[in-house]
A and B are shown apart, each in its own frame.
Chain A
Amino acid sequence: MHPILRLVVQRIALGLLLLLAVSVLIYAGTEALPGDVAQAILGQSATPEALANLREALGLNQPGYVRYFNWLGGVLTGDFGKALTNGQDIGQAIAQRLGNTLFLAGCAAAISVPLAVGLGLVAARYNGRWPDKVISGITLSTISLPEFVAAYFVIYLLTQVFPIFQPVAMVFPGMGFWEKLQAVALPVLVLVLVVLAHMMRMTRAAILNVMQSAYIETAELKGLSPMRVIWRHALPNAVAPIISVVVINLAYLVVGVVVVEVVFGYNALGQYLVDHVAKRDLPVVQAVGLIFAAVYIGLNILADVLSIIANPRLRHPK
């Protein structure tokens, strides 16, 4: 077996084991939450009879480990079950929400990744001079701003002072692609501001690190232009750390944007998760938690594999 293929298989197997461990943790964690589902669903206005009935109907009287294995069996066959609170099929609800999450993350990534890498290259090219300082200054200040502050600022500026966009960023089936883009413009802007600096700084640092090498000096002595040196000689050798930081940020865009989703009322997985945590709807919390964990683990495996492929020394081990 080719060493890379073997490595990929190994990583995926490890990832699956990790996912299983995560599923146990998620299950135990949700079980340990205070309060119970029946009470959380019925709220302050619950009568004891209604509570008892609901507990019975939800199967809450079975021991925890029995419910865990029932649930795991369902998940392995692609059945996430029904939401306890409103009886909707979880798989279906999640599919649509996940689509929205990926759409938002995709838009943000399509803008932020090329922009960050490009700015990183420019900053490295003009290391220590004013373009570097301007780029670093701006991106560092946007990353220092908490997301919700950036979000409210953007809402204020672009919906109230200059009424260009609509504040509520909901997307629905049946909306055209262009309409959807318009709807998510503001959250995308906020996400780009938030993730830009990390990737930009990493690109810049990785390139500068390589720039100290002897072969770069050779390239400069050959008389190549500085941008060409960076593009042809520095970047290919600096690409591994850049890939890992880009992928980590992609993972963040998928699983870490709950705050941004809530602030803009965006109907994606984050908001869905928050609602169901508040109502102790365990099957949904577990399913979403598992999906988030899978995305995170999957992207990390991808980062590892890509870094190895990008590095000839790892690609052809002696």
Chain B
Amino acid sequence: MNDELHYIVKRAAKGLMSRREFMGRASALGVSAVMANALLASAVRAEEPVKGGVLRAGMAGGESTNSLDPALAASEVPFMVNMIWGEMLVDVTPKGEIDYRLAEEISSNADATEWKFKIRKGVEFHNGQTVTAEDVVATLKRHTDEKAQSGALGIVQGISEMIAEGDMVTLKLASGNADLPFLMGDYHLIIQPGGGVDNPAAGIGAGPYKVVDNEPGVRHTFEKFANYWDPSIGHADQVEILVINDNNLRTAALQAGQVHMINRVDPKIVELLKGVPGISVEAVAGRGHYVFIMHCDKAPFDNNDLRMALKLAINREEMVEKILGGLGTVGNDFPINAAYPLFDDTIEQRKYDPAAAAELYKKSGHDGSPIVLRTAPGAFPGAVEAAQLFQQSAAAAGIPLEVKVEPDDGYWSDVWNVQPFCASYWGGRPVQDQMYSTAYLSTADWNDTKFKNAEFDELLLKARAELDATKRKEEYSKMAHILRDEGGLILPMFNDFVEAKRAEVGGWVQDPNGELMNGRALVKCWLTA
């Protein structure tokens, strides 16, 4: 079979290509319809899950300081670990739809201020208890307690009342929020027995696997939970995560077959790794992005002409090419891309324009002293090099940038959100509202560009309660325009998740929601050999 045909058969079998498109492309390759049908049928059989075995992932982003408490998960390994033993009310599918997990039905009133979640019956926790509406409410309540230090505090804060009644959970909101179901898919909000109040780090949930060994920063092992409710996932008997923070070692472990999949492939070695037999590189366009942020309330960045000059003085294509090795897309100075529902793709793409930048720079009346841009190797991968590229492209527009490289240690406490101009990154959120509310609302805790715009805030609150998708899309588009043209955000690129797996891993799908199939790769994949 030739490579092209092989490729499209595989894609069609995985459901990444429609049957109609597959038949069309197969006939273009000179394959008869009967033959194409037969090929597809056998490929689909080959894609049927295989049960058993030990599936292993080698991952960067774990430390010996990690905890099993879902409220505290902040890096990749704890996130993935929690997705293996835990279950939320809902998940978000790769296509951006709600995947009903512990909630089997969701409904709301007309202004989206009251939501009802019907809890799936007969689902068991690993300790044998049944999942009840009371457990759900206790879990959400624990995350509202400031002492829990939950990463989901911002989400649950907006819930004014939580009621458990029979198998129904009712959540009343202070103001309407059409996205609430998506927010319940936040990875911190794993339902724990009794809300996990007694021992939040017990690692007992309703997920497909039970925790066996938990050695933070070293290894996490799990075994299949026999009473898991959903037979369509959880194929391997055991799954394991080895924490391998060193890039070279992680790649070597994949090549030697010690692990079956790895996250965070260094863009520099992608081309080399593609040539290794039995290994495939998976680049998934997600919502994460690398940014340079200016404080709109501090000189000289309180001048929109200067901000705009800097936005025009960055060469986005060059950044994607050189910093991401082509594995990403250009950004347009607002934090939303096509991976979000209700994205407006008609907004004009901003381009590198040194002449216009020079003119705006002159108009801003800046005194010509060097503008200090702070960066650090850990601000995002390639952040130092990206700052240097920015310096070069800005110099061509006559804007003097001074790159100051800060140590990684203390970067997030002493530089980010403190200094007026620095490099940073965002992981993205499932819906636009959450991204904007987290970092661009005037009153947001993490408003790291100090962007305060009354019209933008008003639109955000209006869109949040809007159940009509067309109107909502218009409102989001207006907000994008405001942020793009007046904000303190320079967003040159959206980075792909770059991962690699061995050929014997079956069931892999591209998921823009998060790394390694939104943390579910070990749960949803299987070993074919």
Residues of A within 8 A of B (CB): 33-36, 39-50, 53-54, 57, 83, 85-88, 93, 152, 155-156, 159-160, 163, 166-168, 170, 172, 262-265, 267, 271-272, 275-276, 278-279, 281
Chain A residues, CB < 8 A from B243 = 265
Given contacts A152-B248, A163-B256, A172-B213, whether A57 and B63 have CB atoms under 8 Å apart is: no
* Given A160-B252, A167-B258, 11 other A-B residues pairs in contact with their CB atoms under 8 A: A34-B409, A39-B412, A39-B413, A87-B201, A167-B249, A167-B253, A170-B218, A170-B219, A263-B246, A265-B249, A271-B64
Given contacts A49-B146, A152-B248, A167-B253, whether A267 and B65 have CB atoms under 8 Å apart is: no
B449 in contact (CB, < 8 A): no
B151 in contact (CB, < 8 A): yes
B119 in contact (CB, < 8 A): no
Q: Is the CB of A275 within 8 A of B146?
A: no
Task: Encode B163-201 as 1/0 by CB contact (under 8 A) with A.
Answer: 000000000000000000000000000000000000001
Chain B residues, CB < 8 A from A279 = 63, 65
Given contacts A155-B252, A263-B246, whether A278 and B63 have CB atoms under 8 Å apart is: yes
Chain B residues, CB < 8 A from A281 = 65
- The distance in angstroms between the C-alpha atoms of A172 and B413, with both chains bound, is 35
Q: Is the CB of A265 within 8 A of B246?
A: yes
The residues in B between 246 and 270 inclusive whose CB is less than 8 angstroms from any CB of A are 246, 248-249, 252-253, 255-256, 258-259
Q: Which of B147, B154, B258, B412 contacts A166 (CB 8 A)?
A: B258
Chain A residues, CB < 8 A from B151 = 45
Q: Which of A43, A93, A275, A276 contacts B412 (CB 8 A)?
A: A43
Chain A residues, CB < 8 A from B413 = 34-36, 39-40
B135 in contact (CB, < 8 A): no
The contact sample of 12 A-B pairs, CB cut-off 8 A, is: A35-B412, A85-B63, A86-B64, A88-B216, A155-B248, A159-B252, A168-B242, A168-B259, A265-B242, A265-B245, A265-B246, A276-B64
Chain A residues, CB < 8 A from B219 = 170, 172, 267
The residues in B between 396 and 435 inclusive whose CB is less than 8 angstroms from any CB of A are 407, 409-410, 412-414, 416, 424
Chain A residues, CB < 8 A from B245 = 262, 265
Q: Which of A262, A263, A275 contacts B64 (CB 8 A)?
A: A275
Chain B residues, CB < 8 A from A45 = 74, 151, 446
Cβ distance B359 to chain A, nearest Cβ, rounded Å? 35
- The distance in angstroms between the C-alpha atoms of A81 and B213, with both chains bound, is 23
B149 in contact (CB, < 8 A): yes
Q: Is the CB of B65 within 8 A of A275?
A: yes
B58 in contact (CB, < 8 A): yes
Q: With CB as the reference atom, state the residue of chain B lying closest to A34.
A: B410
Chain A residues, CB < 8 A from B146 = 49-50, 53
B153 in contact (CB, < 8 A): yes
- The distance in angstroms between the C-alpha atoms of A35 and B411, with both chains bound, is 8
9 nearest CB pairs, A to B? A35-B410, A39-B413, A85-B65, A34-B410, A167-B252, A86-B67, A267-B218, A275-B63, A35-B413
Chain B residues, CB < 8 A from A42 = 74, 149
Q: Is the CB of B217 within 8 A of A43?
A: no
Chain B residues, CB < 8 A from A172 = 213, 215, 219
B161 in contact (CB, < 8 A): no
Given contacts A43-B74, A45-B74, whether A86 and B218 have CB atoms under 8 Å apart is: no
Chain A residues, CB < 8 A from B201 = 86-87
